Amino acid sequence: MKRYFKILLVVIFFWSLTACSQTHQQTVTAVGSSALQPLVEAAGEKFTEQNPQAYINVQGGGSGTGLSQVQQGAVQIGNSDVFAEQKKGIRTQEISDNRVCVVAVVPIVNHKVPIRNLTLTQLQAIFMGKISNWQELGGPNLPITIVNRAQGSGTRTIFEQQVMHGRPTKKSSEQDSSGMVRQIVKNTPGAISYLAWPYLTKETPALKINGVQVSINNVANNRWPIWSYEHMYTKRQPTAATKRLVNYVLSDQFQKHEVRQMRYIPIKAMHYQQDSHGKVTKIKAGE
């Protein structure tokens, strides 16, 4: 009888440990921007190494999805490439903005296109359909195939605001993910599109704009013209684990190492700032 009693105590003890562990596990779900997704995934992995009781679930879906879901309380974090004010139907008074870094958006072409530099005006004309063959820009006699991001994509919103300036884009293929855009441009002669800089590979050559190559220094000094903040939106009163994760992403160590290594631009490196209307101004000393 004593033996069975001891076994029962052991079973109860381990059941209590398991229940306690489950009770204290803190789940943070971050949904939205595919441009920011790689950085938040990296942050989640490192954060859980230091906080084993936390579980960080990171998903894409686009900035619009992230903003609407965090507003509804369906997730703890809505990742976005754009300000909440830029998306219709978002009640900005219900959520808090955390700008965690800056991302550059880079035009890419198929490797059979030898052109490596465009002016901003030429880039706009291509996406409007005014320039339809690479021969018009000194390249081969090759039709231009435009690949666009889908509506709701924050990357597309950045491109339309800072390149198109309200002008309509030509009807073209639209893709939900950065990975699919890259794959289609790689496999389609004459194709052109745009990606967040962290997704750039040698398979799809990047273009200079107005003779300027994308770099952290060029973005920080506004010489590279297509960039935006990356936001991690939360509810006004986030959970403790959510707040700790956002603070971890903003920590000096993470900003100086992972943010730079993954080709994002640290917030503190910026010498220029941008508002929700796309207006860019120089940051004054002390701001």
Contact 106, 192 (CB under 8 A): no
Query: What pLDDT, on the 0 to 100 scale, is given for residue 235?
Result: 97
Q: Which two tokens stand for residue 68?
A: 């609407």
Burial of 287 (0-12, 13-18, 19+ CB in 10 A): exposed
Say whether pLDDT at 151 is over 90.
no
3-state secondary structure string across the chain = CHHHHHHHHHHHHHHHHHHHHHHHCEEEEEEECCCCHHHHHHHHHHHHHHCCCEEEEEEEECHHHHHHHHHHCCCCEEEECCCHHHCCCCCHHHEECCEEEEEEEEEEECCCCCCCEECHHHHHHHHHCCCCEHHHHCCCCCECEEEEECCCCHHHHHHHHHHHCCCCCCCCEEECCHHHHHHHHHHCCCEEEEEEHHHCCCCCCECEECCECCCHHHHHCCCCCCEEEEEEEEECCCCHHHHHHHHHHHCHHHHHHHHHHCCCECHHHCCEEECCCCCEEECCCCC
The two three-digit tokens of residue 143, written as one number? 């039709």
As a whole number, the mean pLDDT across the chain is 91
Question: What are the tokens at 123?
Answer: 């880039």
Give the mean pLDDT of 194-213.
97
Strands 26-32 and 77-80: parallel
Q: Which residues pair with 29 in a beta bridge?
A: 57
pLDDT value of position 15: 45
What's the pLDDT band for 159 if we cut at 50, 70, 90? very high
pLDDT higher than threshold 50 for residue 42: yes
Residue 6 clears pLDDT 70, i.e. is over it: no
pLDDT over 80 (residue 36): yes
75 vs 177, which has greater pLDDT?
75
Beta bridge partners of 212: 209
Q: What is the pLDDT of residue 152?
A: 79
Rounded to 5 degrees, what are φ and ψ at 262? Answer: -90, 10
Q: What per-residue confidence (pLDDT) applies to 7?
A: 45
* Rounded average pLDDT over 161-171: 94
Residue 98 has pLDDT above 50, yes or no: yes
In sequence order, the β-bridge partners of residue 80 are 231
User: What pLDDT is recorded for position 261?
Assistant: 97
Neighbours of 192 (CB within 10 A): 25
Domains 2-100+230-282 and 103-220 share a fold: yes
Alpha carbon 20 to chain centroid, angstroms: 36
Contact 118, 141 (CB under 8 A): no
Q: CATH for 2-100+230-282?
A: 3.40.190.10
Say if residue 228's pLDDT is above 80. yes
CA dihedral 71, 76, 81, 83 (to 10 degrees): 40
pLDDT level of residue 216 (50, 70, 90 thresholds): very high
Query: What single letter denotes the amino acid at residue 225?
Result: P
**How confident is the model over 85-112, as a mean pLDDT?**
96
- Report domain 103-220's class: alpha beta
Task: Specify the pLDDT at position 286.
Answer: 65
pLDDT band, very low/low/confident/very high, at 80 (cuts 50, 70, 90): very high
Per-domain residue ranges for the chain?
A: 2-100+230-282, 103-220
Residue 12 pLDDT exceeds 70: no
Are the CB atoms for 113 and 134 separated by under 8 Å? yes
- Check whether 21 has a pLDDT greater than 90: no
For the chain, the straight-line distance linking the first and the last C-alpha, in angstroms and rounded, comes to: 74
